[in-house]
Structure 1
Amino acid sequence: MEYTFEPMAQEHRREVIDIFNHYIEKSFAAYPGRPVDYAVYDHFLSLSRSYPALAVKSGDGKTVGFAFLHPYHPADSFRKTAMATYFIHPGHTGRGIGTKILNILLKKAHECGIEQVLVNVSSLNPGSIGFHLKNGFRECGRFEDIGAKAGKAFSVVWMQRRL
């Protein structure tokens, strides 16, 4: 199947939030304890203002993933460091979309003057930890047992990639 990448826009709202809510309800990949309202999409767009933000479209025109960079910290001392967020529809994982969208984000980050990209991953999401290690990130810290969801405590693993 062919996939295209385009800037995140209002037309992607429903499908992006539906994808995010899937990961809220079915995994530890997204941190909220319950599904979020479609208004959260405005927060995603606000966070990523002046940063790359992409939607992934399948050949049939459906939004099947999204990715964006956002500031690590509001202080200008950290302006060359960004956080990455991305999720792929579960029916489209394992097809290289995650790697492609990450590579696009990293290229665009470099073009924007970003030198460091950070992610934080639930310790109960070993697939994501492995994905990031395979794609040049290194684990640089853990906050032990700071989260709890569905009755399970989890740690947050911080990972970093220098561009």
Structure 2
Amino acid sequence: MTVPRATVRPARRTDLPEVAAVYGHHALHGVATFDEAPRPLAEWERKYEDLVARGLPFLVTEEAGRVTGFAHAGPYRPKPAYRYTVEDSVYLAPDATGRGLGTALLGALLDACGHTGARRVVAVITDPGGQASAALHRRFGFTEAGRLTAVGYKHGRWLDTLLFQREL
């Protein structure tokens, strides 16, 4: 799906309030994240600085001067042996779904990850609730690697996570 007038570009520090707002919506109303409250802007600033310092991608979609989504790749786990594996995150504003922005973001993110020295990308997707994310990742060649059952409790229900992976 093509997205006219949408640009995927590296995030800037000035984008972080809008990034925080997009994520905050999902924290309060969805299950894509197990956070139950929005993250403070200072936390987003620390995350942004850390990813930039590591040379890892942090991207946004911009439409008409507004950030409508973001994606980043971060360390999968903190132990040194995991240094060649990253975990992706893709979030869209609630009014920006169904127009190909997730596809544009994930495609650009995977391309950028290919230049970081990473060898594998992991995605952790909530089930039930993450069907669109699972379908998006499958379209990019991710395969399901496992399920963790009832590991999260949010909005009055137990949630599983699906682990997906893809070689770069």
Letter of the aligned partner of 2:66 in structure 1?
Answer: K
Task: Determine whether 1:7 maps to 2:49.
Answer: no
What are structure 1's unaligned runs of at least 5 residues?
none
Identity of aligned residues (%): 27
CA RMSD of aligned residues (A): 1.4
Partner Cα distance (1:35, 1:115) in 2: 31
Q: 2:83 aligns with which of 79, 84, 97?
A: 79
Q: 1:65 aligns with which of 47, 69, 84?
A: 69
Q: 1:114 aligns with which of 115, 118, 124?
A: 118
Partner Cα distance (2:112, 2:131) in 1: 27
Per the alignment, residue 39 of structure 2 pairs with 36
What are structure 2's unaligned runs of at least 5 residues?
none
Does the 8 Å contact 1:47/1:71 carry over to 2?
Answer: no
Task: Determine whether 1:128 maps to 2:133.
Answer: yes
Task: Determine whether 1:162 maps to 2:167.
Answer: yes
Shift of 1:39: 2.1
Secondary structure of 2:166 counterpart: strand
Secondary structure of 2:41 counterpart: coil
Q: Deviations over 1:6-57 (max 9, x none)?
A: 2222211111111001111221112111233222212431442320111211
Partner Cα distance (2:163, 2:79) in 1: 19
Partner Cα distance (2:49, 2:148) in 1: 27
Per the alignment, residue 151 of structure 1 pairs with 156
Partner Cα distance (1:75, 1:105) in 2: 23
Does the 8 Å contact 2:11/2:60 carry over to 1?
Answer: yes
